[in-house]
Structure 1
Amino acid sequence: MSNVFIAFQKNEETRAIVDAIVADNPQAIVNQQPAMVKIDAPGRLVIRKSSIEQEIGREFDLQEMHVHLITLSGNIDETDDELSLTWNQ
């Protein structure tokens, strides 16, 4: 099974996003670098609006992530409430 991943600029605003993603994806592996944080997961990674809102304590539009996004790998399925990255088998 191939890994999917998403990478963000490393800053204070992305800390809550990363924490929420890791909480929802226990199989995820976080790779911290000086200017970037990359999250890898085997086969599937789910990003939930509700989890991010819980971490940051305010309403959150998933489109806000794109400001901090560096790159990603996988097929994207996005709704107003969830973004998932997968590799179709």
Structure 2
Amino acid sequence: MQTVWGVLLQQYNNNDDVVYGMVVSGRQSEVLGIESMVGLFVNTIPVRIRRTGHETFLALVKQVQVDLLKSEQYDYVSLADIQA
């Protein structure tokens, strides 16, 4: 769905490179003591969809999946820190 949304944004903006925010839970098990913390840990991370003219949609889906799996380690980092 992230790829479809990115391609749709590309079509509306007439651009092959789009960035949008994806909301994530932000509750990573790697954060020490997360199981005893109470509160809202929702976070937004940037998702970038870049399309070249010669790649297939399936190749784009696979690349987005790889990128999203790599970005999971940053789910708890604030958007301001990511932008910096």
Query: For this structure pair, what is the TM-score category when the shorter chain's length is used for normalisation?
Result: under 0.3
Which structure carries more helix by proportion?
A: 2
Q: TM-score, normalised by structure 2?
A: 0.24
Q: TM-score, normalised by structure 1?
A: 0.23
The structure with the larger Rg is 2
